[in-house]
Amino acid sequence: MKNVFKQMLVAGALLASVGMTSFAFADDAPAKPEAAAASVATAASATATAAVVTPIPAPDVAVASLPAATADAAAASAPAVVANKGDTAWMLVSTLLVILMTIPGLALFYGGLVRSKNMLSILMQVFMIFAVIIVLWCIYGYSLAFTEGNSVIGGFDRVFLKGIWDPVKGSFATAATFSKGVVIPEFVYVAFQATFAAITCGLIIGAFAERAKFSAVLAFVVLWFTFSYLPIAHMVWFWTGPDGIKDAASAAAELVKGGFLQQKGALDFAGGTVVHINAAVAGLVGAIMIGKRVGYGRESMAPHSLTMTMIGASLLWVGWFGFNAGSALEAGDIAALAFVNTLLATAAAAVSWVFGEWMSKGKPSMLGGASGAVAGLVAITPACGFVGPMGALVIGLLVGVICLWGVNGLKRMIGADDSLDVFGVHGVGGIFGALATGVFAAPALGGQGIMDYVANKMSADPYVIFDQVKVQAIAVGTTIIWSAVVSVIAYKLVDLVIGLRVPEDEEREGLDITSHGESAYHS
Amino acid sequence: MKLITAIIKPFKLDEVREALSEMGVQGITVTEVKGFGRQKGHTELYRGAEYVVDFLPKTKIEAAVDDAIVDRAIEAIESAARTGKIGDGKIFVYDLQQVVRIRTGETGNDAL
């Protein structure tokens, strides 16, 4: 075990020094755009070498396509777009809200659901995954997800976050939003997206709670983040922004620079595919490959504190406004719409889950209320900026009962020990939400339709629900397959090197004492 | 001297304590315990998982009393803890050989 950590440290130091070298080279090296277009398979493995051999300059986002000389001239004639302070403030608050969702929100929601002997292992896994992913995000994650590369993965322009602060010009780079002429500081965008990556990786651990080895969890998450989260985030969300779109020709030119699913026209406002389906599939694969908990189905594995779970679910609900309304990237109409939709769909789903449970099982439960709310939050995530409030209401009402089935009938059908129902809630709710987005985004159903950035208003073309649902299905299918394949390989690798689960006696004693040497409660 | 051990429903604890104080019992020891009798357990449902809870929470009371008041003490516990529904609990009485008050060294009835 010690050797593994030693190797990881050495590799990390090596990577860091390589990054610094490329940063130093960046100013005088010629542009090599084709270097960024390396195939996915080699892109990640070539991280270290590519940066040395073909250092990629760090272009200012606003003038990325212009040669240096004309860029200066342009900057002199047209004043650069400045970020609005209100937008910046809102995005900083949104970022904090997503952090609140993860630690403590998700940690407590999950923690309350396990037995008291495993409470700290859950809190610890979520907490440390958050920390590790934030570090990786700033080293290479942001660059691979949100810079121009090919349609599957980004490039290395922003490795180590280089180029956002330009010491020569003395200025900070900005990031595009969904409105022409509206930007936010790129550092805010980096931080906001960092929290998304972190919570997505944290979500996974609920599926194999109470039995996974801590070192294995961290190793898996690093692999999965690199080879599944980053490509899916790039495929769904990366585009060059609306400012370069002037006419049909430039619209087409800009479109092909975007991610694969962005080009297809998939709608995912805040992360139904990227976050929820992606994480849920990784979780389900993990639950199957790690195997069931000792005593599963025979011994009581009742939640040790639904009080904690209720607090966690409530923090998730509150934090989710940053997640969803923040995904508008500015403080305006769409943020307000996403806010209302997040409020309404969540409430509707809590109501429908609890009443469904009351009717089918006899009693309305607190856990049902909390689970329903989370299911509603998951389902409205991809839809919140595209659908109208009544669309959100229908999505919420439906997802409550669909996910109730997800953790009952479907769970029995799958037969895996998905400890905290990550797939039943996030997977099922995410898939339903992604498909429903295609339906309720239709203007005929009160939705926003599709934005036409050439005319800079909503598209005049008729919105065909069936076609959009088809595109949504492609996005869902791509995410499921991609995440599943990466997960199987990553779990297998970790199993070979570290081993995925703790020995049976440690599992029986509880992970708090055996993995972390401490107890959550003293009586 | 007798040691009375009573297993009662937790929410009856205050009534039992009051009844014992009123009739002169100077102190009791209380423990939260779990167990089963004729009441059996109940089922709990967490999402899709159903668990049969066999052991129900009960409260155990221990009181050391003088032979002279043991019958009245038993009666006091009995009437205070009774709901008439299944699961009201049981009272056990043992002979007590010796009692020592640690602070003063008193023994026997003086220590009660």
pLDDT digits over B33-44, tens only?
Answer: 999 888 877 888
Averaged pLDDT for residues A95-113: 97
Compute CA A211 distance to the chain's CA centroid, rounded to the nearest angstrom. Answer: 25
Could you tell me if A412 lies within 8 Å of chain B, comparing CB atoms?
yes
- Residue A43 has a pLDDT of 37
CA distance A272 to A440: 15
pLDDT band at A512 (very low <50, low <70, confident <90, very high): very high
Is the CB of A302 less than 8 angstroms away from the CB of B45?
no
Name the residue type at position A225: F
Distance from CA of A107 to the nearest CA of B (A): 19
Name the residue type at position A223: L
CA distance A360 to B101: 59
Residue of chain B whose Cα is closest to the Cα of A305? B46
Burial of A412 (0-12, 13-18, 19+ CB in 10 A): exposed
Hey, is A247 helix, strand or coil? coil
Could you tell me if A295 lies within 8 Å of chain B, comparing CB atoms?
no
**pLDDT tens-digit map of B18-38:** 999 999 998 999 999 999 888
CA distance A217 to A56: 33
Could you tell me if B43 lies within 8 Å of chain A, comparing CB atoms?
no
All residues of chain A having their beta carbon less than 8 Å from the beta carbon of residue B45 are 361, 363, 365
> From the CB of residue A8, how many other CB atoms can be counted at a distance below 10 Å?
13
Interface of A with B in 298-317 (CB under 8 A): 300-303
- Residue A227 has a pLDDT of 98
Per the prediction, chain A carries an average pLDDT of 88
Q: Which candidate from A303, A411, A412 shows the least CB-CB separation from B46?
A: A303
Hey, is B49 helix, strand or coil? strand
Flag residues of chain B having pLDDT under 50.
none
**Cα-atom radius of gyration of chain A, to the nearest Å?**
23
Q: Residue A14 contacts by C-beta under 8 Å, 6 or more apart in sequence?
A: A48
**pLDDT tens-digit map of A191-247:** 999 999 999 999 999 999 999 999 999 999 999 999 999 999 999 999 999 999 999
**pLDDT tens-digit map of A72-93:** 444 445 567 899 999 999 999 9
Q: Nearest 5°: phi and psi at B95?
A: -70, 140
Burial of A217 (0-12, 13-18, 19+ CB in 10 A): buried
> From the CB of residue A492, how many other CB atoms can be counted at a distance below 10 Å?
12
Q: Which candidate from B45, B48, B53 shows the least CB-CB separation from A411?
A: B48
- Residue A297 has a pLDDT of 87
Q: Tell whether the model's pLDDT for residue A20 goes beyond 60.
A: no
Name the DSSP class of A138: I
Is the CB of A301 less than 8 angstroms away from the CB of B49?
yes
Could you tell me if A408 lies within 8 Å of chain B, comparing CB atoms?
yes
- Residue B37 has a pLDDT of 87
All residues of chain A having their beta carbon less than 8 Å from the beta carbon of residue B42 are none
Question: What is the value of ipTM here, to two decimals?
Answer: 0.71
Contact assessment for residue A143 and residue A155, using Cβ atoms and an 8 Å cutoff: yes
Residue of chain A whose Cα is closest to the Cα of B44? A302
- Residue A7 has a pLDDT of 57
**Whole-prediction pTM value?**
0.83
Longest dimension (CA), chain B: 59
